[in-house]
Amino acid sequence: MPTVIAVDAMGSDKAPKPEIEGAILAAKQYHVHVLLVGREEQLRAEMAHHPSAQHLPIEIVNATEVIGMDEKVAQAVRSKRDSSMRVGLRLVREGKAAGFITAGNTGAAMATAKMVLGALPGVDRPALAAVFPSSKASATILVDVGANVDCKPHNLEQFAIMGDMYARSIFGISRPRVGLLSVGEEESKGNELTKEAYPRLKALPLNFVGNVEGRDLYNGNADVIVCDGFIGNVALKVSEGLVEAMRFLLKESLKSTISSQVGALLSKKAFSDFKKRLDYSEYGGAPLLGLKGVCIVGHGSSNANAIKNAIRVAAQFADTKINAKIEQELTHTQGVGVS
């Protein structure tokens, strides 16, 4: 039996094109069955451009509403009861799909997923994990980047357990190095939250490497880094802003160094290589960890390849039963009295 994955066909900036093409790629390459969720008529019309996809395991599920990128989250989630996100996540809750992916409004995806799927037993706050490239071959997972603000020490503890499981199940790292994001390496460095979280993380049955600093997001010194979602969100957006600024400055520099056309071309190539590594959609999107069900959030700018990768990762999440493992780990940890 192929793994059934529901795809928000209306999510990305250029929806539904990347979603449909990504679904076709995934259905060809992986053992998956895709449910494309969105405005049925529009999706049928778009699918008609891909006659070769006729025999692929792709179905359309109708959802009449769409949550826009700039909509106010609380209101949109409450009022749009037939949104593609809500319908797609309902398919997961009802067992009709093993996972859901969306490249739509991240805030709306988090809120809808929490509402429709709910959190795993033992999880107080589901968290969004993002992958940062490093100069080494590896990558670093940061949990939480989803603006779970004003976290308590036990939230960071749960983020660590969930991030560890993610690194093991999806990245195949056998004993992930887990770090706590702080402002200095010594145990005594940090704020109230990190100082309280430190001994709790140390007591977990994980490969805890202690405090790490901002620069460790990019140097491969840790596989998983946990932090309050406010900090994680700032770290992610500072990175995006810096890449944009560098793209601009580098182009200027290369243009002034050599012929302007060659310089522009070179910088374009160099940057697309780098962005490819930085953009988490290339890693298959950012998973929401700690939910009763699988939900992967991609970037709004996702192309067909990014959607395909997100579908692959959603299927991996489902197939490796990562949620059951997280639940077990949390129950065990809380059972031994750490939390």
Residue 53 is a binding residue for a copy of itself (CB under 8 A): no
Nearer to a copy of itself, 26 or 278 (CB): 278
Binding status of residue 244 toward a copy of itself by CB under 8 A? yes
DSSP-derived secondary structure for 183-211 = SSSSTT-S-HHHHHHHHHHHTSSSEEEEE
Span between the terminal Cα atoms of the chain, in Å:
39
Closest approach of a copy of itself to the CB of residue 256, in Å: 8
According to the binding rule CB under 8 A, does residue 214 interact with a copy of itself?
yes
Q: Which of 243, 300, 320, 334 binds a copy of itself (CB under 8 A)?
A: 243
For residue 230, the minimal CB distance to a copy of itself (Å) is 5
Q: In the beta sheet, which residues pair with residue 37?
A: 8, 61
SS3 content of the chain, % helix, strand, coil (to 5): 50, 15, 30
Q: Does 150 bind a copy of itself (CB under 8 A)?
A: yes
Tokens found for residue 55: 């025999």
Interface of this chain with a copy of itself, residues 300 to 319, rule: CB under 8 A: none
Q: Point out which span in 127-135, 172-180, 201-209, 287-295 binds a copy of itself (CB under 8 A).
A: 127-135
Kindly write down the DSSP assignment for every residue of 52-97, as one continuous string: GGGGSSEEEEE--B---TTS-HHHHHHH-TTBHHHHHHHHHHTTS-
Alpha-carbon separation of residue 255 from 130, 244, 251, 266 (angstroms): 33, 17, 6, 9
Q: Among residues 324, 92, 128, which one has the least CA distance to residue 230?
A: 128
Number of residues forming the site for a copy of itself (CB under 8 A): 54
Among 45, 48, 115, 245, indicate the residue that binds a copy of itself (CB under 8 A). Answer: 245
Q: What does the alpha-carbon distance between residue 244 and residue 289 come to, in Å, rounded to a whole number?
A: 29
| CA–CA distance, 320 with 334 (Å, rounded to integer) | 23
If binding is defined by CB under 8 A, does position 338 make contact with a copy of itself? no
Nearest distance from C-beta of residue 184 to a copy of itself, angstroms: 8
Binding-site member from 16, 38, 133, 290 for a copy of itself (CB under 8 A): 133
Residue 152 binds a copy of itself (CB under 8 A): no
Q: In the complex with a copy of itself, which residue's Cβ is closer, 257 or 331? A: 257
Q: For residues 64 and 72, is the Cβ–Cβ distance under 8 A? A: no
Residues binding a copy of itself (CB under 8 A): 133-135, 147, 149-150, 181-184, 189-192, 213-219, 227-231, 233-246, 248-250, 253-254, 257-258, 266-267, 269-270, 273-274, 277
